[in-house]
Amino acid sequence: MIEWSDEDLMIRDAVRGWIDAEVRPNLDALESGELPPYDLLRGLYKTFGMDEMARSSFRSRIAKEKEGAAADGGERSGGGSAAMTMIPVIELCKVAPGLVSAMGVGLGLAAGTIMKRGTPEQKERWALPLLTMEKVGAWAITEPNSGSDAFGGMQATAKKVGDEYVINGSKTFITNGPYADTIVFYCKLDDGREARDREILTFVLDRGMDGLEQSRPLRKMGLHSSPTGELFLNDVRAGADRLLSSGSQGGKESAKQNFVTERAGVAAMALGVIEECLKLSVEYAKTRELWGQRIGDFQLIQLKLAKMEVARLNVQNLVFRHIEMQRAGRAPTLAEASAMKLYAAQAASEVAQEAVQLFGGNGYMSEYRVEQLARDAKSFQIYAGTDEIQVTHIARDLLSR
């Protein structure tokens, strides 16, 4: 794949029209936190029939599972479905990348975990409302004292008491945490072993359960349109019906599969930011005049624009490669996904910072949108694993061959 098809471009233009009508007028309210993003995202889903597509696909998969047939897990995508996955992500990230974070965590991580590891009953109970955007999902793994050592440093525990588990602990930096209806929660089985040796368990929790507290949104540098919060659990009781299967590889390996999904998706998010920063920079370079000529005629400005275009082409190629892999039914390895995220995140952040520099003093003002995009792009280098963690995963894979 070297370019979008005519059908893809029609989808792109339709999505752009919806964003211009629904998102851009609400950007200030999203940035201030006054407007949570979820009704807008539900509107996107209803407008383009994505909720009905999700419902139909879900019913087909569940029917196959109940008949004992192997479901494909939704990994294989045709051109249309790949475009409907990537194009809204790219276009939304040109305006409000936080919307994609909020949507992606609920769909790709929370619902995705349940779809991979849940029983048909668990999927119908919790995953379907997430896949149709009827409910908001969160994926809770990060803790205040663990950071990048998400598994080894995990302190949240579940202790078996009779037929139930009693869960205690806290989580932080949880996307959708303040508003989540459904929470996929990772913790360690309290069985007397050393903390780092304990089994990782995954539960599905609901808003309002006794002992579960969801904080107000935290204040952040960027991604203001994606609410982030903390979770506090004090003797939360969960029945075995809320426990997801660890599978043959255990909860830790299952979580790593989600890291692959999340990291590969950052390339599409980065492409949106890069394309928008480049567009705004070219427009500004054509119209802004200094010393009697447009700044686009100065070679240092041209160098900035040229580097932005190189980054755009490279990240676009990563996105196209990912689409081709989807079509072929192949998922990236952890190292491949980490490499995609590392490069794309750095490229987006660098392009956005250069756009601010190109705009000069205006670039530091919120009225000129490169300021917001620069703050948002920086998050790409931190969440879903920092740049440093991506380097570790890539290198370990290379050295293990």
> pLDDT digits over 33-81, tens only?
999 999 999 999 999 999 999 999 999 998 888 777 544 444 433 334 6
Cβ burial of 353 (10 Å; 0-12, 13-18, 19+) is middle
Write out the CATH class of domain 6-135. mainly alpha
Average pLDDT over every residue of 339-368: 97
323 or 205, higher pLDDT: 205
Confidence of residue 339 (pLDDT cuts 50, 70, 90): very high
Residues 6+ apart with CB under 8 A from 88: 15, 44, 48
pLDDT in tens, 106-116: 999 999 999 99
Q: Exposed, middle or buried, 377 (CB in 10 Å: 0-12/13-18/19+)?
A: buried
- Summarize pLDDT for 215-266 with one digit per residue, the tens: 999 999 999 999 999 999 999 999 999 999 976 455 566 666 777 878 888 9
| Nearest in space to 90 (alpha carbons), one of 210, 268, 244, 242 | 268
Active site residue 262: yes
Burial 104-140, CB ≥16 within 10 A → b, else e: bbbbbbbbbbbbbbbeeebbebbbbbbbbbebbbbbb
Could you tell me the pTM of the whole model? 0.90
List the CATH code of the domain at 251-400. 1.20.140.10
pLDDT digits (tens, 9 = 90+) for 372-394: 999 999 999 998 889 999 999 99
Integer angstrom CA distances of residue 380 from 83, 338, 390? 22, 12, 12
Confidence (pLDDT) at 66: 77
Q: Mean pLDDT of all residues in the chain?
A: 91
| The pLDDT of residue 72 | 46
Which two tokens mark 346? Answer: 């750095």
- pLDDT at position 73 is 42
For residue 285, the model assigns a pLDDT of 98
Q: What phi, psi does 159 have (nearest 5°)?
A: -110, 130
Catalytic residue among 31, 262, 276, 350: 262
pLDDT per residue over 175-210, tens digit each?
Answer: 999 999 999 999 999 998 887 888 999 999 999 999
Question: Which top CATH class is 139-242?
Answer: mainly beta
Nearest Cα residue to 106 out of 163, 59, 38: 38
Q: Does 170 have pLDDT greater than 90?
A: yes
Give the span between the Cα atoms of 283 and 263, in whole angstroms: 31
- Average pLDDT on 347-367 reads 97
Question: Of the ranges 119-128, 146-155, 236-245, 283-292, which one carries the lowest mean pLDDT score?
Answer: 146-155
Q: What SS3 state is found at 326?
A: helix
Domain ranges of the chain: 6-135, 139-242, 251-400
